[in-house]
């Protein structure tokens, strides 16, 4: 049986060649991008301001 959406947890692991870091995503919305209001800011011009949510 699949748990309801409110009970699901998501874990994302992001890796770069120069720096391995893990980020726990523990809420329904998590913003990744160059914007300062992103939860995970990636200061790289190849990444869009709002790259993923």
How many domains is the chain partitioned into structurally?
1
Q: Residues 9, 26: contact at Cβ < 8 Å?
A: yes
Q: Give per-residue burial for 1-18: e unless 16+ CB within 10 Å, then b.
A: eeeeeeeeeeeeeeeeee
Burial class (CB in 10 A: 0-12, 13-18, 19+), 41: middle
Q: How confident is the prediction for the chain on average, in pLDDT?
A: 77
Model-wide pTM > 0.85? no
Higher-confidence residue of 30 and 14: namely: 30
Our measurement of the distance from residue 5's CA atom to the centroid of its chain's CA atoms, rounded to an integer in Å, reads 18
Q: pLDDT at position 40, please? A: 86
Q: pLDDT at position 14, please? A: 63
Give the span between the Cα atoms of 40 and 26, in whole angstroms: 13
Query: Predicted confidence band at 4 (pLDDT cuts at 50, 70, 90)?
Result: low
């Amino acid at each position: 049986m699949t748990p309801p959406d409110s009970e699901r947890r998501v874990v994302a692991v992001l890796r770069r060649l120069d720096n391995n870091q893990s980020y726990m995503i523990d809420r329904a919305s998590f913003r990744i991008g160059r914007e300062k209001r992103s939860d995970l800011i990636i200061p790289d011009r190849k990444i869009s301001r709002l790259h993923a949510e």
